[in-house]
Amino acid sequence: MTRLIAFLVFPDFQLLDATGPIATFEIAGRLRPDTYEIRVVAEAAGPVASSSGVALQARPLPDGPIDTLVVAGGMGVDAASLTPALVDWVRAAARRARRVTSICSGAYVLAAAGLLEGKRATTHWSRTDDFQRRFPGVRLEADRIFIREGDVWSSAGITAGIDLALALVEDDLGAKVARRTAQTLVVHHRRPGGQSQFSALLDTGGVHGRFAELMDWIRERLAEPLNVERLADEAAMSPRHFARAFRAETGLTPAKAVERLRLEAARMRVEGSGEPIDRVAEAVGFGDAERMRRAFLRAFGQPPQALRRAARA
């Protein structure tokens, strides 16, 4: 049975939101012929320009059944999510589809159609505050690469769309085909959906922001006690002012940022070495393996041992 995968685009969509998953399904289809029919669709058929200016040729919105609807994100998503005819079509198409998915800020379109109400979902970290204001009924989990909630899937920003597409391929065709697809794409056989997307946030808010030097200072002292008073002293600010300014800059509390940096350092050591887990926990400041395990489960959805096994598979 050939499955129709319809990619919905709109003016100023993010090119990689569409082309990354398209390439994933195309390669999986070559490994398992006659599995997928890939179709780019839009409200107005013809060339649809992405935010880069590069256009994809789109066909009309289909009236018939769809196996999987994939909604791209991008700069034009605000206008798209406020276009009644397009939102109505997405709502109707979802009733005919086996599953509905969004890439990055494409979640706005699904939410506008009411498809995420009361459901867990994710989107690009830079959109989380605005998304929560507009759609308070969605159970947004910003710290996720992708989320599956029944037949509705959503992913974080841009390249996370490839992770989501690989998960969809695995759901359809099994782990072996998904792994071979990932190898052809030259990407890690997909990151688990629970993996944190906040390392990018910390790099953006830290390396290029006002707390750049402080972030580097923290990374060099992860094994040491790093409470807000000590961080504020290093930043030459009062604790209250520092906590407020830091959260405004990075979107995280100082304590959460320290935990994220410890998690990223721990994950690199867990996946890249055979160092005992308890020694890793001590070296990065978690203190003991159980505390680190709980932090891994919250951030990555898996314990350290599972990530180590996956990295070696």
pLDDT-based confidence at residue 159 (cuts at 50, 70, 90): confident
Question: Residues with Cβ < 8 Å from 257, sequence gap 6 or more?
Answer: 202, 206, 215, 218, 246, 250
Q: Say yes or no to pLDDT of 206 above 50.
A: no
Contacts within 8 Å (CB) and 24+ apart, 202-207: 202/250, 202/252, 202/257, 202/260, 202/261, 202/264, 205/249, 205/250, 205/251, 205/252, 206/250, 206/257
Q: Say yes or no to pLDDT of 198 above 60.
A: no
pLDDT digits (tens, 9 = 90+) for 33-54: 999 999 999 999 999 999 999 9
DSSP secondary-structure letter at 2?
Answer: P
Q: Which residue in the list 9, 40, 104, 261 is annotated as catalytic?
A: 104
Delimiting residues of CATH 3.40.50.880 domain(s) in the chain: 3-185
Mean pLDDT confidence for 229-258: 91
pLDDT digits (tens, 9 = 90+) for 172-183: 999 899 989 998
pLDDT-based confidence at residue 201 (cuts at 50, 70, 90): very low
By three-state DSSP, how is residue 204 classified?
Answer: helix
Q: Say yes or no to pLDDT of 205 above 60.
A: no
pLDDT at 271: 80
pLDDT digits (tens, 9 = 90+) for 55-110: 999 999 999 999 999 999 999 999 999 999 999 999 999 999 999 999 999 999 99
- Which CATH number applies to 3-185? 3.40.50.880
Delimiting residues of CATH 1.10.10.60 domain(s) in the chain: 198-312
Q: Where are the beta strands (DSSP E) in the chain?
A: 3-8, 36-42, 46-49, 55-60, 68-71, 99-102, 120-121, 139-140, 146-149, 152-155
**Backbone φ, ψ for residue 223 (5° rounding):** -75, -10
Cβ neighbours of 73 (radius 10 Å):
29
Half-sphere exposure in the Cβ direction for 25 (13 Å, CA): 27
Q: Say yes or no to pLDDT of 277 above 90.
A: yes
pLDDT-based confidence at residue 192 (cuts at 50, 70, 90): low
Q: Is the pTM of this model over 0.85?
A: no
By three-state DSSP, how is residue 275 classified?
Answer: coil
- Between CA 64 and CA 2 the distance in angstroms is 14
CATH class of the 198-312 domain in this structure: mainly alpha
- Residue 251 annotated in active site: no
Mean pLDDT confidence for 166-193: 83
